[in-house]
């Protein structure tokens, strides 16, 4: 098959790779209905994260099971399934605690920007939809694989509850879906921090009540203004830079909650600043598996439409253009059709 | 009156100072029944924190109200009261949220190692006991002013619940009372990290089920061993150094809770390490005022005896010896009798 490989920063190729096959009895092989480019794919694409060898790209996926290993019992060929970027057994103590991305047997899923994909630990990792979905639901189900699950975790980790004032730092797809998630969890006021008209528009559609365009200290001051000097109850940090973390912590009221769901790049937190901020801090790689049944239900019942974050759809073979469009912020997120 | 003043590192003097008096209508002046030396007093005493001018010392206090300002309505002369190291109005949004140490009108209380003390914002700050306590309860009531309240916050901030496995980093008075607090909150297993026999003994008396003497990576490995490789559900960091923070984070299971209640000195947290640890982090200056009614009730009903952390009692005028004994770790905590 032909699939996506990053050779060096900026060099995305769609080239011949071996077809995936069952390697261990707990594997499944799926045929992808759709895949996409993740904001985190841009770190190595931009050279911020080292690329030491040609790397098969992609970790967001949904599709039809083609084949399962002899030990797989919970999914079967023909089913439409969704999984997350870390395969997990869903039985170890960390999985049982709801932290499947810290599974004791976790395996990173890679190479999903391809027509077919091997998924390890299929029983623990894959969740089947009630039936094969209509085509118009596929983008939203694909979003559940990572970006919606990560936005949902941002709201969950920041303890969003009905009536709260919530701020979201970052207007990428995760930030936008964090807005949607906070709305679903009952937030009364949702302040989206965004400078881009098209993203502001989607944020408002997803439930944002206020838009703040300022960043850094000015952004913090603006949130304080909007909350009578108190700060937000919860701030969802969906970027992963030093500036965005400090902005999130500074905008939160004492006793409030900060979540962070993007892999931090160049972030260090000074102990006394954090101490006197009095915030709760929680985050990490989103345990999407915990939320998948709920997210599938929300999409299946058409209560939410997270697939709207895909504002660019390309044939898989044009994946390189998907990377370019996201890198240049011409697209929020690129969906790829194999 | 004569009171305690730190002139420069190591130079504690008991010398003449002006008697405190009512300065604003919301003040109270109390006659101290007992006061003490705090672990945090050792930072400037040791020169780790700068001493720029002669500084009246002490912020832990309980005693009899002598005089109140014209606006004070909730306490009156003759009552026995306890307050915390930050005076707070107990009515602002941060106070109402239970974070009185971030009160919008907070004032630091200083100069409590003295016979008499002015307490600002008396209505918000002071809590009276049901009646003037018998002498044997005074040490435990004094402990509620800071060290017990801080240990309690350590357990509260780490979400300690019945059945949990809890580890406590630090065997100072706060760490020991964090053990007691975790026990009160129903922790099933409490691992105290301590190398000192006398402190281990008190930890066991307060409810510790295991003692770990190793520190750093070895301490983390030992906690992992004791929890089948999983890590503790909650780790209470009661020291405030880089080593103790990393030890606490490393010993916590993914999804578990780390609290930190000692002012961090030289602590920086690297973003990716924290991210992949998957822990919840919360702490800051303990909002003791939130817990005072509960702590007074526990002491008054003799369910707990936090006053046992005072293993040295001195007349107030010998305060310098109290500092020396704690600095040299000959005493866990020194109580001073005016």
With b for 16 or more beta-carbon neighbours within 10 A and e for fewer, the B114-145 pattern comes to bbbbbbbbbbbbbbbbeeebeeebbbbbbbbb
Q: Give the residue ranges of chain A where pLDDT is below 70.
A: none
- Residue A151's φ and ψ, nearest 5 degrees, are -65, -40
| A116 vs B: CB within 8 A | no
- Residue A35's φ and ψ, nearest 5 degrees, are -145, -175
- Residues in CB range of A90: below 8 A, 6 or more apart: A100, A103, A121, A123, A124, A125, A289
Measured between alpha carbons, how far is A171 from A194 in angstroms, rounded to an integer? 5
| A97 vs B: CB within 8 A | yes
Instruction: Extract the tokens encoding B314.
Output: 């001195």
Identify all chain B residues contacting A283, using CB atoms and an 8 Å cutoff: 275
Query: How far is the alpha carbon of A248 from chain B, nearest alpha carbon, in Å?
Result: 14
Position A49 scores a pLDDT of 87
Residue labelled with tokens 């973390």? A245
Verify whether the Cβ–Cβ distance B269 to A268 is below 8 Å: yes
Instruction: Extract the tokens encoding B92.
Output: 């602002």
| B50 vs A: CB within 8 A | no
Identify all chain B residues contacting A102, using CB atoms and an 8 Å cutoff: 254-255, 276, 278
Position B270 scores a pLDDT of 97
Q: What is the ipTM of this complex?
A: 0.96
Instruction: Extract the tokens encoding B187.
Output: 């922790």
| Vertex A82 angle, CA A81 and A84, to 5° | 145
> Are the CB atoms for B81 and B71 separated by under 8 Å?
no
Verify whether the Cβ–Cβ distance A268 to B263 is below 8 Å: no
| Vertex A321 angle, CA A331 and A28, to 5° | 95
Measured between alpha carbons, how far is A222 from B197 in angstroms, rounded to an integer? 53
Superfamily, domain B2-146+287-337: Medium-chain alcohol dehydrogenases, catalytic domain (3.90.180.10)
Instruction: Extract the tokens encoding B180.
Output: 């007691």
Verify whether the Cβ–Cβ distance B254 to A280 is below 8 Å: no
Q: Which helix (H) or strand (E) holds A8?
A: strand A2-8
| A229 vs B: CB within 8 A | yes
Q: Coil, helix or strand for A191?
A: strand
Crossing angle (nearest 10°) for helices A216-226 and A242-250: 20
Distances (CA, A) of B17 to A247, B6, B59, B315: 44, 13, 16, 18
Instruction: Extract the tokens encoding A305.
Output: 């439409």
Q: Coil, helix or strand for B283?
A: strand
| β partners of residue B11 | B8
Query: How far is the alpha carbon of A53 from chain B, nearest alpha carbon, in Å?
Result: 22
Measured between alpha carbons, how far is B195 from B182 in angstroms, rounded to an integer? 20
Contacts 24+ apart (CB under 8 A), B132-139: B132/B64, B132/B78, B132/B79, B132/B80, B133/B80, B133/B300, B137/B299, B137/B300, B137/B302, B137/B307, B138/B33, B138/B34, B138/B62, B138/B307, B139/B34, B139/B307, B139/B308, B139/B310, B139/B335
The fold of the B150-283 domain, in CATH, is Rossmann fold (3.40.50)
Position B330 scores a pLDDT of 93
pLDDT tens, position by position, A49-90: 899 999 999 999 999 999 999 999 999 999 999 999 999 999
Find the length of chain A.
338
pLDDT tens, position by position, A166-180: 999 999 999 999 999
Q: Coil, helix or strand for B64?
A: strand
- Residues in CB range of B300: below 8 A, 6 or more apart: B129, B130, B133, B137
Q: Where are the domains of chain A?
A: 2-146+287-337, 150-283
What are the per-10-residue average pLDDT scores of chain B (338 residues)?
Answer: 97 97 98 96 92 96 98 98 97 98 96 98 98 98 98 98 98 97 98 95 98 95 97 97 97 98 95 98 98 98 98 98 96 96
């Amino acid at each position: 098959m032909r699939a996506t490989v990053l050779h060096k920063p900026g060099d995305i190729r769609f080239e011949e790779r071996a077809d995936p096959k069952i390697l261990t009895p707990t594997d499944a092989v799926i045929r992808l209905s759709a895949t996409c480019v993740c904001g985190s794919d841009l770190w190595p694409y931009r050279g911020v994260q080292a690329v030491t060898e040609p790397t098969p790209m992609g970790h967001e996926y949904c599709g039809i099971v083609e084949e399962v290993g002899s030990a797989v019992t919970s999914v079967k060929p023909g089913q439409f399934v969704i999984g997350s970027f870390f395969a997990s057994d869903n039985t170890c103590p960390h999985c049982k605690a709801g932290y499947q991305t810290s599974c004791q047997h976790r395996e990173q899923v890679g190479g999903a920007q391809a027509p077919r994909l091997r998924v390890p630990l299929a029983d623990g990792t894959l969740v089947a939809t009630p039936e094969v979905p209509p085509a118009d639901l596929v983008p939203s189900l694909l979003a559940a694989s990572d970006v919606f699950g990560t936005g949902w975790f941002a709201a969950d980790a920041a303890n969003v509850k009905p009536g709260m004032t919530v701020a979201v730092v970052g207007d990428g797809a995760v930030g936008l879906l964090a807005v949607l998630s906070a709305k679903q969890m009952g937030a009364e006021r949702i302040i989206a921090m965004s400078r881009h008209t098209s993203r502001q528009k989607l944020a408002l559609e997803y439930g944002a009540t206020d838009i703040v365009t300022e960043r850094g200290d000015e952004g913090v001051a603006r949130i304080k203004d909007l909350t009578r000097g108190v700060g937000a109850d919860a701030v969802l940090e969906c970027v992963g830079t030093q500036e965005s973390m400090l902005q999130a912590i500074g905008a939160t009221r004492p006793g409030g909650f900060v979540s962070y769901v993007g892999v931090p790049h160049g972030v260090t937190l000074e102990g006394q600043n954090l101490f006197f901020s009095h915030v709760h801090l929680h985050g990490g790689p989103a345990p999407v598996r915990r939320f998948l049944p709920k997210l599938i239900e929300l999409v299946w019942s058409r209560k939410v439409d997270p697939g709207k974050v895909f504002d660019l759809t390309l044939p898989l073979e044009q994946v390189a253009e998907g990377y370019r469009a996201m890198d240049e912020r011409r697209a929020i997120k690129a969906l790829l059709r194999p």
